[in-house]
Structure 1
Amino acid sequence: MKIYFPQWQGSGTGTNIESGAKTVLEYVNDSEFISIPLSDLKAGKDGIQQYCINNYDAITEQLSRLKKEIETSNPATIRTIGGDCGLEIVPVSYLNKKYPNLGVIWFDAHADINRPCDSPSCNFHGMPLRTLLGEGEKNMNNLLFSTIQASQIHYIGLRDIDNAEKKRINEGSIYAPKQMNTNELIETLKSKNISHLYLHFDFDCLDPTDYDKTYYKVANGITVKDAEAYILSLRANFTIVGSSALESITNIPSELYPIKNILNLLMSNTSL
């Protein structure tokens, strides 16, 4: 199943996230992608905060629609073009239910593991992993197909972490190396008997000198070349059942050229 879901409300105001997702969709040029409509409820500068989550009503309405679509289709694999990172709670929880002990690879500059009450911004795209752990806003639990364990989370490119997130990562012994070692990651996954993976890819995991058309720009990221190599290594050793391409914000197709191989690896017919 291929999904176009340009959710931006999880980022608060979402400057260029929706249009950036559309540009990626057009660049990929794959007619198999289906579009999930977004909510018409007030959001952004006119949005309403509930439970320490900005745009709560709009987010939950459209994620409910996404969940229903996936539930009805019952796909074996899911590829998503988005959109902000908050959308991940639906496809990841679905695939986790379908493939027990799914490994979740989180390519991201940010940990995305805040509780709403700990979040400095109250933006939901910083909360999906905590929600997937079943430790987020309890009123959102009905959006989940299942919950994951801390041992299933593995970060690549992580470098911008809130204090509360550091505490949860340390408490859960979550895989978050300061220096990436592909062989070490593969051995870690195999030691947990993980055979299936979900690849979450927020383009801010990349160093801005390689690709800077991202919602956030965080120095000292991974290179495009290394990202390609990591994905290829993971594909060679595990079955990739889900992947996403998120938070690219350029509206100019030619500016996606530096990441064309990453998009192909994540989204093409040969990537799953």
Structure 2
Amino acid sequence: MNMPQWQGGDEPAYSFGSELLRWLAPPHDGPEETVAVPEPDGSSPPVSRGIKWCAALLSQARAAREAIERHAPDRIVTLGGDCLVDLAPMAYLSRRYGEKLGVLWLDAHPDVMSAAEFSHAHAHVLALLLGRGDEAFTAEVPRKLDARRVMIAGMQGWNADEDLILKELGIRHIPPAVLADSSRPILDWIETEGITHLAVHFDLDVLDPAHFSPLLFNRPGMPEGAFDGIEQGRMQLDQVVRLLKEIGAAVDMVGLAIAEHLPWDMLRLRNSLAELPIMKS
């Protein structure tokens, strides 16, 4: 499923990042759906119930659910877009596999806030899947995830609000240093919880921005200190690939969402080419 959603992070470049992921993805045999998302037009975000672009995001989540239900798949790969693109796929897989399902959340951030803490809904998605947050969005998750079968991996730090929520929800997390050379902590969790099917949320910002460029923290032209206080990823891409391959050999991986791809250089090149008259003739 292609979902070029950008409103959850209020960042138009997520739309182009999703389109490029679609082009980069290897060939596949299954059905393909693309959720219609309005192009950014520079307008200010409407805010409802404390959430920017609330109505559009809810409409898109429902459209994604309908697209999935048309095919009733055994597995879903989702290419986004901001992190909220995983609401419908995870909700579907939770309903399909129930207690057999585990969720691995590869992310530099826990995504457990609500409108009370932050107006960008891409930071709400894991909490929504666990039943915490805006009622209209949690209603899209008929079978809530079991916190025992959720593991956040690659998160180094979190803020005070997130700390309280993580404790309230009882979500476990493993820092990047523990996973740098071994997948064993995740494999042990899978075995202990009796997980037979796994869905993976892969927010690219779990990666170290010094070694992987298409991330929010590498946005051109930002003043020094613009991202102070926001946790940045520490993992390497080859570490994540190793982790997913080893986990995939041990459990049936039924879901993968890749989110928050921001290819700044490609976006600059696209926009620059559009300025050349010869390209339009």
- TM-score when scaled to structure 2? 0.81
Match of 1:221 among 234, 241, 250: 234
Cα shift at 1:44: 6.5
Instruction: Specify the code of the residue in structure 2 equivalent to 1:147.
Output: K
Cα shift at 1:144: 2.1
Match of 1:17 among 14, 18, 32: 14
Instruction: Specify the code of the residue in structure 2 equivalent to 1:125.
Output: H
Note if contact 2:103-2:198 (Cα within 8 Å) is conserved in structure 1: yes
Matched, 1:61 2:50: no
Count how many residue pairs are aligned between Structure 1 and Structure 2.
247
Match of 1:240 among 243, 253, 256: 253
Note if contact 2:214-2:264 (Cα within 8 Å) is conserved in structure 1: no
User: Which residue is 2:269 aligned to?
Assistant: none
Q: 3-state DSSP class of the match of 1:33?
A: coil
Matched, 1:231 2:228: no
Counterpart Cα distance in 1 of 2:249 and 2:21: 25
User: Which residue is 2:141 aligned to?
Assistant: 144
Instruction: Specify the code of the residue in structure 1 equivalent to 2:24.
Output: Y
User: Which residue is 2:227 aligned to?
Assistant: none
Matches within 5 A, 1:193-232: 193-216=194-217, 219=232, 221-232=234-245
Match of 1:94 among 84, 92, 95: 92
Matches within 5 A, 1:1-272: 3-12=1-10, 14-28=11-25, 30=27, 32-39=31-38, 45-101=43-99, 102-119=101-118, 122-178=119-175, 179-181=177-179, 182-216=183-217, 219=232, 221-250=234-263
Residues 62-109 of structure 1 show CA distances to partners (whole Å, capped at 9, x for unaligned) of 111111111221111100111010121110011011112211111111
Counterpart Cα distance in 1 of 2:233 and 2:58: 34
Max Rg structure: 2
Counterpart Cα distance in 2 of 1:44 and 1:105: 35
Note if contact 1:6-1:21 (Cα within 8 Å) is conserved in structure 2: yes
Instruction: Specify the code of the residue in structure 1 equivalent to 2:215.
Output: T
Cα shift at 1:241: 0.2
Note if contact 1:82-1:247 (Cα within 8 Å) is conserved in structure 2: yes
Note if contact 2:106-2:154 (Cα within 8 Å) is conserved in structure 1: yes
Counterpart Cα distance in 1 of 2:210 and 2:131: 36
Moved more, 153-162 or 222-231: 153-162
Over aligned residue pairs, what C-alpha RMSD do you find? 2.1
Identity %: 23
Counterpart Cα distance in 2 of 1:141 and 1:199: 20
- TM-score when scaled to structure 1? 0.84
User: Which residue is 1:259 aligned to?
Assistant: none
Instruction: Specify the code of the residue in structure 2 equivalent to 1:9.
Output: Q
Residues 106-150 of structure 1 show CA distances to partners (whole Å, capped at 9, x for unaligned) of 11111101122122xx10000001111111101223322421122
Counterpart Cα distance in 2 of 1:124 and 1:219: 19
Moved more, 195-204 or 213-222: 213-222
Cα shift at 1:157: 1.4
